[in-house]
Structure 1
Amino acid sequence: MKIAFQLSIHFGLLIFVSCYGGDGYDPLENALKIQLSKRLVPNHETNEYHSAEYSNSPVYMGPQDGLKDVDKISSLPGQPAGTDFDQYSGYVTIDPNHGRALFYYLAESPVNSSTNPLVLWLNGGPGCSSFGNGAMMELGPFRVNADNTTLSRNKYAWNNVANVLFLESPAGVGFSYSNTSSDYITGDMQTAKDSYTFLMNWLERFPEYKTRDFYITGESYAGHYVPQLAQLILQKNKITNQTVINLKGIALGNAYVDYETLKTGLYDYFWTHAIISDEIHEGIISNCNFSEGATITDACIDYQYQAYAAKSNIFFYDIYAPLCSPFNTSTPSISVFDPCTENYILGYLNTPYVQQALHAKPIKWESCSGLIGAHWKDMPLTVLPVIQNLMASGINVWIYRQVNIICAGDTDGRVSVTTSRYSINKLQTSVKVPWYPWMNQGEVGGYVVGYENLTFVTIRGAGHFVPSYQPGRALAFFTSFLKGKLPANH
């Protein structure tokens, strides 16, 4: 218990904080710390990923007649004139006995919506909003202006080439809720099952998408959500007499998939990007073993504390980005990310008439729920075996990263490019297409390497939230992903 206590003291557990990465809040680190403290307790259940339990559990199906029309958004407050695509949002009940319902937002394509694929987007945390962070800050059709009231069109939105479905999951995140408070004590397994139940019911509400090509994308802790949900879909497709979901591929951005490589990559990244000293880096190498089951020494904890202290108050999710200033009142540009964007979104989504237009329950909306992360039950320290299974299944598996425009490094300090490369090395898959630069609008958009059943792509000049920092390059990468082709080198 001494180590668990020290972890809490050194890294500071911030439970009720709304900003994703703001004010030093790091939902992934907090959740990892709690999981590790649990594993230090004798006979604690580690909650391994039980695929059999997933596939055998029943799926609730509720009545959906007429709900699509109810969910259609006539207009979002402050949206620009000339909006030329349909939007829907609302709730899908996944457990009527508990009163558990998940909130979604669908942005259909302005062109070819009847034939374009359906893409599910999931943000991570755990506990962070796919609608507020994903749709409003990253890849959705609108950005919130600095007045907290009006919206600007994002010309690089992913609904240009796909119908994009944003899901707030699990219950307790964003606008999603449950009438049973114990549902807020959840984890990986329940999140996957609830997301699958949501999809099955949502497809009954929107039957035109039942046979459409389907992709799952997400970032950060969605490195757990996406492959776990994909595996569950493939299992259910074999045994169910209900809708077969036409899963074609998954894409993981800045994804946490393996604890050991997350930690080793993090501190190697800190060192190679001049954030920590040689002495701190050497202290971590000499005293820390991040493999599962290894002893966490006091010296290792102390050196990690020194590393975080040395990092100081840079924005962890993009180490070269400016911090949000209280004097910043300018309208955010799509090509240059405004560090105060989360504040604008927070103001907009907490406006009563905005919540009413979204068909959302009137609540205090938050970017991230620290409560959810603080009570996370099961979190496998690696999902690489799940990814290996998906690679063998034949679906398209892409991992994308962000690389600094100045040097061969990453601007995201949370889940570094070094971490992703270490994780891929653990998969021990062979190279089919050697590393090369891919081009976008006459410049290097990033770099790509094609492995056996896996693609690794970097996006140059972006931080943790890829489409926020480099929207044009992100859209170009995403378009290639949907086509199943590597980004062009010319």
Structure 2
Amino acid sequence: MRAIRFPGGELWWWMLVILLLCCRFSSSSLPLIAAATAAAEERVVTHLPGFEGPLPFHLRTGYVEVDEGNGVHLFYYFIPSERSPADDPLMLWLSGGPGCSSLTGLVYQIGPLGFDLHGYMDGLPKLVYRPESWTKLSNIIFLDSPVGAGFSYSITVQGYKSSDTKAVNQILIFLRKWFDKHPEFLSNPLYIGGDSYSGMIVPTVTSGIANGKHVGSEPSLNLKGYLVGNPLTDSSIDGPSKIPFAHRMALISDQIYEVYKKSCSVGDSSYQSVQCTNSLNAIHECVKDIFPFHVLEPLCSYASPHPYNFLKLKLNSGVREMQQLQDNTAEGLHLSEISTQCRTAEYTLSRLWANDATVREALGIHKGTVPAWLRCNTSIPYTKDIQSSVKYHLDVTTKGYRSLVYSGDHDMVVPYIGTQSWIRSLNFSIVDDWRPWYVNGQVAGYTTSYSNNLTFTTVKGAGHTAPEYQPRQCLAMMARWFAGDRL
């Protein structure tokens, strides 16, 4: 019989409520939370369960309280640059979701650790060093945001209620308090980065810093710019772009696409509506068995009871629904039940690792605060109250800050077509026209540079998100961009 699990749906939320109520009314539980919040807020981590020997890089973990009334604590992993911490940029990295742990960035995307899919050490998934880490170029703070993501927590139920704007404000508070404790990094060039759903958050946070919100005390932060990968930006642009993307990828025919364009154009006749519905149904039949995170990867068997609904994704952002399906389905399976061809096999390893007591002890996790760690917690009561981040892109870039926007060219979750569309809406002039960029003599993608220091690039062969699929090329991209060189 399958064990009862906490990760998905309402069960996780109600277990959390029960835990918090018990902590509130039980005198024996109160000291536990009090002791946790009073503990040292940052620790140096030299060894991690699952990794053989000492870590070959520096790692610190800690918490910053961003809402004293509700006891909201945001957890972070900080890795100083492996090159020159005093001189290299400092980057705050935010994962998507909303609700995905920043361990996703650290282990699967841009950090110096990765899981060995076939290796175990002392009963835990084995960790290995990843040489393509962006920590070779930059100091990086991997932040669990919003509250409820990863190891971030609140001591009240009310504190878990979050939104785009609330998350942005708490990130700004986090930065101010983090720099208060780490003034040695105030002079480092500061960049805000993230991917997927954080495309809504990163430009907004950057705009807040640029306008002095929460972090305007002296000395001011040395903000230089921001970067977003495969970024959700405006669902009214990103959503509809999935269909022309599917056409370009030869997933739907010219005939189907032409009927779609004609029948689903602006209009209110009942005939047009029926034709549009039929067109969308035809498109759905063509793409329902395609894995949208990377259209060339297999749609794994574990997802078959709940197939991806392309039409739903067209009408909505799609990112949260697909991520919830991907994680919640996988969480209920043993690793042996998931094909090694499935990327979720690697994602499941992080759940096994982060829920181990020795791992939590090594990371300095406050006891009794997170009953079950999830790579992506989609049960957070979260309001999406920023409908579009385009205006924040415009605000920051017209102030002269640098920006890099990159897309995996095989991503059907947030297709590059939609990203190009909102970039064009900024009406910036083209400085460097569309051209290939290279790594080791091979085309790594295509890039365009615009006025106001905005660079857009595709990463050839990458999905959602790009560094996960093409780490070597993405490291080269970042090395050139940080240095101010042409891609």
Rounded Cα–Cα distance in structure 2 between residues aligned with 1:245 and 1:305: 51
Tell me if 1:232 matches 2:238. Answer: no
Displacement of 1:89 after TM fit? 0.9
Q: Does 1:422 align with 2:421?
A: yes
Indicate the residue corresponding to 2:387 in structure 1.
381
SS in 1 for 2:154: coil
Residues 144-189 of structure 1 deviation map (CA, whole Å, 9 limit, x = unaligned): 2223522111000010111111011110111111122233332111
Q: 1-side partners of 2:155 and 2:273: how far apart?
A: 42
Mapped pair 1:139 → 2:110: yes
Measure, in 2, the Cα distance between the counterparts of 1:253 and 1:413.
14
Stretch of structure 1 that moved more, 191-200 or 430-439: 430-439
Q: 1:338 to 1:172 in 2, by over 3 A?
A: closer
Match of 1:218 among 187, 194, 198: 194
1:92-111 paired onto structure 2 within 5 Å? 92-111=64-83
CA distance in 1, matches of 2:167, 2:265: 30
Q: C-alpha displacement at 1:376, in angstroms? A: 2.9
CA 1:378 to 1:310, structure 2 compared with 1: closer, same or farther past 3 Å? same
Q: State whether structure 2 residue 225 is matched by structure 1 residue 249.
A: yes
Once residues 407 and 72 of structure 2 are traced to their aligned partners in structure 1, the CA distance between those partners, rounded to angstroms, is 34
Structure 2 residue matching 1:475: 3-state secondary structure: helix
| Cα separation, 1, equivalents of 2:280 and 2:219 | 48
- Gapped runs of 5+ residues in structure 1? 1-13, 19-63, 403-409
Which residue matches 1:445? 444
Aligned residues: 410
Relative to structure 1, is the Cα distance of residues 194 and 472 closer, same or farther in structure 2, using a 3 angstrom cutoff? same
- Aligned AA (2:413): R
Distance 1:94 1:238 in 2: 11
Matches within 5 A, 1:141-220: 141-146=112-117, 147=120, 148-220=124-196
- Structure 2 CA distance for partners of 1:277 and 1:451, relative to 1, 3 Å: same
2:241 paired with 1:270: no
The AA in structure 2 aligned to 1:235 is N
Aligned-residue offset at 1:283:
5.0
What are the superposed Cα offsets for residues 297-333 of structure 1, whole Å, 9 maximum, x if unpaired?
687566546544532233221111235576699999x
The alpha-carbon deviation at position 275 of structure 1 amounts to 2.5
Label 1:238 to 1:349 Cα distance change in 2 as closer, same or farther (>3 A): closer
> Partners in 2 of 1:460 and 1:211 — Cα distance?
35
Change (3 A) 1:305 1:350: farther
Question: Structure 2 vs 1, CA of residues 253 and 128 (structure 1 numbering), >3 Å: closer, same or farther?
Answer: same
User: Aligned-pair RMSD on alpha carbons?
Assistant: 3.0
TM-score by length of 2: 0.77
Matched, 1:370 2:381: no
Report the 3-state secondary structure (helix = DSSP H, G, I; strand = E; otherwise coil) of the residue aligned with 2:65.
Answer: strand
How far is 1:121 from its partner? 0.9
Secondary structure, counterpart of 1:159 in structure 2: helix
Distance 1:249 1:290, change over 3 A: farther
Does the CA contact (< 8 Å) of 1:144 and 1:348 recur in 2?
no
Aligned 8 A contact 1:328 1:340 in 2: no
Task: Calculate percent identity across the aligned residue pairs.
Answer: 30
Q: Distance in 2 between matches of 1:17 and 1:367?
A: 16
Dislocated runs of 4+, deviation >6 Å: 296-299, 328-332
Task: Quote the Cα distance in structure 1 between the aligned partners of 2:259 and 2:387.
Answer: 23
Q: Are the aligned partners of 2:86 and 2:188 in contact in 1 as well (CA < 8 Å)? A: no
State which structure, 1 or 2, has the greater radius of gyration over its C-alpha atoms. 2
- The offset of 1:223, in angstroms, is 0.9
Deviations 1:106-148 (A, max 9, x none): 11122212221111111111221222x1111111111022235
Distance 1:310 1:127, change over 3 A: farther
In the alignment, residue 346 of structure 2 is paired with which amino acid? T
1:34-183 equivalences in 2 (<5 Å): 67=40, 70-81=42-53, 83-131=55-103, 133-146=104-117, 147=120, 148-183=124-159
1:392 aligns with 2:391: no
Q: 1:134 to 1:290 in 2, by over 3 A?
A: farther
Q: Is the 8 A contact 1:195 1:229 kept in 2?
A: yes
Q: Distance in 1 between matches of 2:432 and 2:185?
A: 34
Measured in 1, the distance between the counterparts of 2:439 and 2:464 equals: 20
Superposed CA offset, 1:73-131 (max 9, x none): 13111224463321011211111210101010011122212221111111111221222
Q: Which residue of 2 aligns with 1:348?
A: 353
- For residues 253 and 414 of structure 1, the distance between their equivalents in structure 2, rounded to whole angstroms, comes to 12
Q: Which amino acid aligns with 2:350?
A: I
SS state at 2:382 partner: coil
Unaligned runs of 5+ in 2: 1-7, 13-36, 302-334
Task: Report SS of the residue matched to 2:174.
Answer: helix
State the Cα distance separating 1:290 from its structure 2 match.
9.1
- SS at 1:340 equivalent: helix
CA deviation vs aligned residue, 1:379-422 (integer Å, no higher than 9, x gap): 333221211111111110111112xxxxxxx2111011111111
Distance in 2 between the 1:303 and 1:366 partners? 38
Structure 1 length-normalised TM: 0.77
Q: Deviations over 1:216-248 (max 9, x none)?
A: 111111111110000101111698334412110
Deviation at 1:467, TM superposition (A): 1.3
2:387 maps to amino acid: L
Cα distance between partner residues in 2 of 1:323 and 1:248: 40
Secondary structure, counterpart of 2:360 in structure 1: helix
Q: 2:92 touches 2:142 (CA, 8 Å); kept in 1?
A: yes
- Paired residue type of 2:102: S
Indicate if the aligned counterparts of 1:446 and 1:457 stay in contact, CA closer than 8 A: yes
Equivalent-residue separation in structure 1 for 2:150 and 2:277 (angstroms): 33
Code of the aligned partner of 2:114? R
Match in the other structure for 1:48: none
> Within 2, Cα distance between the matches of 1:366 and 1:377?
20
CA distance in 1, matches of 2:141, 2:265: 40
CA separation of 1:104/1:385 partners in 2, compared to 1, >3 Å: closer, same or farther?
same
The one-letter code of the counterpart of 1:349 is: A
